[in-house]
C-alpha cells in the first residue's frame, strides 16, 4: 500500500502538468516558419484559437482540437494582394478560389480609379455576403468624378471639386484605405494634377494611401512617376505606384531609370512603394489603343465618332504610329480576353481576328478590326509588351509588393490573363526556387508584412501572438503556377493548407467551402 502511494505521488506532477496544458483550436506543428518579417526561417509551431494566433515558436505545448503536421512545409502569413478588381464578381464565386489556391487571404480592391462610391455600403455588403477572403477597398477617383460630372472632358468647377472632396471624405470615414486613380482611363485621363492633389489631401487626413495607375507606363513613364511623387509630396500622403512596369519594346531596359527615381524619392522622405505582377504581359481594355479624346461621354458617343470617316482616319493613323514606336509590324501583341459581342474572338490576337474576317494581312486592316470591336462594345485584352529583364530588376527592389491586378475568376469564362490564378505561385516557383531572383523570406515579406504596413492592415501580415490567423502552409519545392496564356483557367498547386481568420479554408489542397473572410476597414472608420 505504501509502495502504491509513493508511486502515485511520483506520478502526481505529471498529472498536474497535463491538466495545466492550455487548449487551442488548431496547432500547426513542425513547419519551417517564415514569419513575414524577412528574417530567416526556423522550425516551429503555431497555435490558434478564436481566429487569432495565440503563440508561435518552438515545441509549443497545447491540447489542440486539431493538429496539422507541417513537416517539410513552409508556414507563413496569408498573402495580401494589394491590387485587385473584385467588384461585380463577388457573387459569381464567393469562395474566391483563384485567390485562395494562390495563398491569398486578403485583397485590396477599388484600384485604378474604379470602385464603389459608397464604401460603407459596399464593405457592409461584403461582411454580409461572406467571401473566403478578407476585403479592403480604396475609393476610386474615376467613379467619384463620374458621380459628380460624368465623363466630361474638362476641368472640374470649384463647386464640383468640393462635391468630389465630400465624397472622398465620406468614403474615408466609412473605412476606405486610400484613394486610387486610373489616369489612362476615362475620365481620369482628363484630370489635371491639382484636382488629384486636392482629393489626396482629404485622403491624407485619415491616414490613407494614394495608389495610382499612372498616366503613362511607356514612353512618358518618367513624367508619370514624377506626377505621382508630386502628388505625394504636395498632399503629404504615402504613394503606391500600381503595376510598376515598362510597356513597349522601345522602353525595355528603362527600369534602371524608373527604379532609381523611386529610390531617390524615398531618400527625400516621400513614402513611395510599388507593386508588380510577375509577367511580361499586361491586361486592360482594348480601348487603350484608341486616343483618349475619342472615348469621352460613353459608348453611344464613341460609336458615333468612330463611324465618321475623318475620325476613323485620325484614329487609324494614331494606332499605326504607336505600332511603329513599338517596332512591330502587326497587332499580334494584343490578344482579346473577352468580347461579349463575339466570344469566338476570345484568346485570339488582333492579327488573327483580322485574318479570320478575310481582310488583308496589313496593320491598317488590323486597326480597322480594332475599331469594329470598339463599335461592337469593346473588349478586354492581354497585351504582350514587357521585357523579362525589367520584370526581374523591378522584382529585386525591396519596397515592391506582388499583385495580381485581377478579379475573382470564374472557371472557363473568357481567356483572361493568368495572373488572376498564379501570381504568388509564379513568384515562389519561378523567381525564388528556379531562378533565385530573390530569397524565400524576402518574397514572403513582400506578400505579407510590407502590404499590411503600407495599407495599415493592423494585426495582419505577421505570425505573431494576437494577430489574425491568416496562414498559408505550402511546399516550397512543389509550389507552381499552372495557369498559362493559352490555358489560363487552372489553379496554382502546392498550397496544402490555407487558413482565414482561424478557419481551415484549404485542407490538403482542397477548398473546404469555408467563407470566413471579413471586410477590413481603414483608420478613418475609427478616427
Rounded Cα gap, residues 294 and 315, in angstroms: 8
CB 134 within 8 A of CB 518: yes
Percent of the chain past pLDDT 90, that is, above it, reads 93
More confident residue, 110 or 8: 110
pLDDT confidence tier of residue 128, bands split at 50, 70 and 90: very high
CB 80 within 8 A of CB 402: no
Average pLDDT, the chain: 95
Cell of 447: 506578400
Rounded Cα gap, residues 99 and 109, in angstroms: 13
Nearest to 419 by CA among 131, 4, 83: 83
What's the pLDDT at 5?
52
Q: Is this prediction's pTM over 0.85?
A: yes
Dihedral sign (CA 282, 284, 286, 292): negative
CB 316 within 8 A of CB 362: no
Chain segment 281-310, per-residue pLDDT in tens: 999 999 999 998 888 877 888 899 999 999
Percent of the chain past pLDDT 70, that is, above it, reads 96
Residue 485: is its pLDDT beyond 70?
yes
Residue 65: is its pLDDT beyond 50?
yes
Residue 33: is its pLDDT beyond 60?
yes
What's the pLDDT at 207?
97
What's the pLDDT at 37?
98
What's the pLDDT at 20?
87
Chain segment 142-196, per-residue pLDDT in tens: 999 999 999 999 999 999 999 999 999 999 999 999 999 999 999 999 999 999 9
SS3 letters for 334-386?
EEEEECCCCHHHCCCEHHHHHHHCCCCCCHHHHHHHHHHHHHCCCCEEEEECC
Q: What is the DSSP string of 419-482?
A: HHHHHHHHIIIIIIIIS-SS-HHHHHHHHTHHHHHHTT-TT-SS--TTSB--EEEE-TTT-B--
CB 423 within 8 A of CB 479: no
**41 secondary structure, DSSP code:** P
Residue 15: is its pLDDT beyond 90?
no
What's the pLDDT at 419?
98
Q: Residue 103 — φ and ψ, nearest 5°?
A: 85, 5
CB 460 within 8 A of CB 51: no
Mean pLDDT of the 204-213 span: 98
Q: Is 282 in a helix, a strand, or coil? A: strand
Rounded Cα gap, residues 167 and 178, in angstroms: 13
What pairs with residue 26 in β-bridges? 48, 66
What's the pLDDT at 362?
97
What's the pLDDT at 140?
98
Q: Angle at the Cα of 102 (from 98 to 103), degrees rounded to 5?
A: 125
Beta 42-49 vs 79-81: how paired, if at all? unpaired
Residue 326: is its pLDDT beyond 50?
yes
pLDDT confidence tier of residue 527, bands split at 50, 70 and 90: confident
Q: What is the DSSP string of 101-165?
A: TTTEEEEEE--TT---S-HHHHHHHHHHH--SSEEEEPEEHHHHHHHHHTT-SSPPPHHHHHHHH
Rounded Cα gap, residues 357 and 352, in angstroms: 9
Which segment of 14-28, 250-264, 338-352, 500-514 scores lowest on mean pLDDT?
Answer: 14-28
What's the pLDDT at 16?
45
Residue 13: is its pLDDT beyond 70?
no
Amino acid at each position: 500500500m505504501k509502495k502504491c502511494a509513493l508511486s502515485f505521488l511520483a506520478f502526481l506532477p505529471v498529472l498536474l502538468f497535463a491538466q495545466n496544458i492550455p487548449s487551442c483550436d488548431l496547432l500547426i506543428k513542425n513547419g519551417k516558419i517564415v514569419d513575414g518579417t524577412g528574417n530567416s526561417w526556423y522550425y516551429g509551431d503555431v497555435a490558434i484559437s478564436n481566429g487569432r494566433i495565440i503563440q508561435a515558436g518552438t515545441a509549443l505545448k497545447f491540447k489542440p482540437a486539431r493538429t496539422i503536421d507541417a513537416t517539410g512545409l513552409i508556414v507563413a502569413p496569408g498573402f495580401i494582394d494589394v491590387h485587385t478588381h473584385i467588384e461585380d464578381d463577388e457573387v459569381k464565386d464567393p469562395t474566391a478560389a483563384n485567390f485562395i489556391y494562390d495563398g491569398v487571404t486578403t485583397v485590396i480592391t477599388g484600384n485604378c480609379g474604379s470602385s464603389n462610391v459608397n464604401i460603407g455600403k459596399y464593405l457592409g455588403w461584403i461582411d454580409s455576403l461572406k467571401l473566403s477572403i478578407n476585403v479592403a477597398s480604396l475609393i476610386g477617383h474615376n467613379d467619384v468624378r463620374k458621380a459628380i460630372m460624368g465623363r466630361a472632358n474638362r476641368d472640374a468647377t470649384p463647386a464640383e471639386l468640393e462635391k468630389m472632396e465630400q465624397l472622398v471624405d465620406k468614403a474615408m470615414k466609412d473605412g476606405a484605405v486610400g484613394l486610387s486613380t486610373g489616369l489612362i482611363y476615362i475620365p481620369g485621363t482628363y484630370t489635371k494634377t491639382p484636382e488629384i492633389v486636392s482629393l489626396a489631401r482629404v485622403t491624407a487626413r485619415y491616414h490613407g494611401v494614394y495608389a495610382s495607375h499612372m498616366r503613362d507606363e511607356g514612353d512618358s513613364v518618367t513624367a508619370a512617376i514624377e506626377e505621382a511623387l508630386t502628388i505625394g509630396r504636395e498632399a503629404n500622403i504615402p504613394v503606391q505606384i500600381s503595376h510598376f512596369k515598362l510597356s513597349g519594346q522601345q522602353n525595355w531596359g528603362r527600369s534602371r531609370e524608373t527604379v532609381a527615381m523611386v529610390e531617390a524619392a524615398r531618400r527625400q522622405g516621400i513614402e513611395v512603394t510599388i507593386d508588380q505582377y510577375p509577367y511580361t504581359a499586361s491586361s486592360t481594355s482594348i480601348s487603350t489603343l484608341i486616343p483618349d479624346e475619342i472615348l469621352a461621354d460613353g459608348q453611344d458617343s464613341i460609336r458615333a465618332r468612330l463611324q465618321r470617316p475623318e475620325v476613323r482616319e485620325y484614329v487609324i493613323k494614331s494606332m499605326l504610329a504607336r505600332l511603329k514606336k513599338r517596332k512591330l509590324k502587326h497587332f499580334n501583341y494584343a490578344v482579346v480576353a473577352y468580347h461579349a459581342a463575339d466570344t469566338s474572338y476570345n484568346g485570339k490576337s488582333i492579327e488573327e481576328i483580322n485574318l479570320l474576317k478575310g481582310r488583308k494581312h496589313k496593320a491598317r486592316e488590323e486597326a480597322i478590326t480594332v475599331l469594329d470591336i470598339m463599335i461592337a462594345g469593346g473588349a478586354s485584352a492581354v497585351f504582350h509588351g514587357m521585357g523579362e529583364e525589367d520584370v526581374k530588376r523591378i522584382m529585386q527592389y525591396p519596397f515592391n509588393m506582388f499583385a495580381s491586378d485581377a478579379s475573382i475568376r470564374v472557371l472557363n469564362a473568357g481567356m483572361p490573363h493568368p495572373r488572376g490564378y498564379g501570381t504568388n505561385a509564379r513568384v515562389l516557383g519561378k523567381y525564388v526556387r528556379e531562378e533565385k531572383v530573390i530569397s524565400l523570406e524576402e518574397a514572403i515579406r513582400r506578400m505579407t508584412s510590407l502590404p499590411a504596413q503600407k495599407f495599415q492592415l493592423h494585426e495582419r501580415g505577421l505570425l505573431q501572438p494576437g494577430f489574425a490567423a491568416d496562414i498559408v502552409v505550402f511546399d516550397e519545392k512543389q509550389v507552381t503556377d499552372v495557369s498559362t496564356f493559352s490555358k489560363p483557367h487552372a489553379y496554382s498547386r502546392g498550397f496544402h493548407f490555407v487558413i482565414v481568420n482561424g478557419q481551415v479554408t484549404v485542407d490538403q489542397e482542397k477548398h473546404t467551402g469555408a467563407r470566413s473572410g471579413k471586410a477590413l476597414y481603414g483608420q478613418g472608420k475609427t478616427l
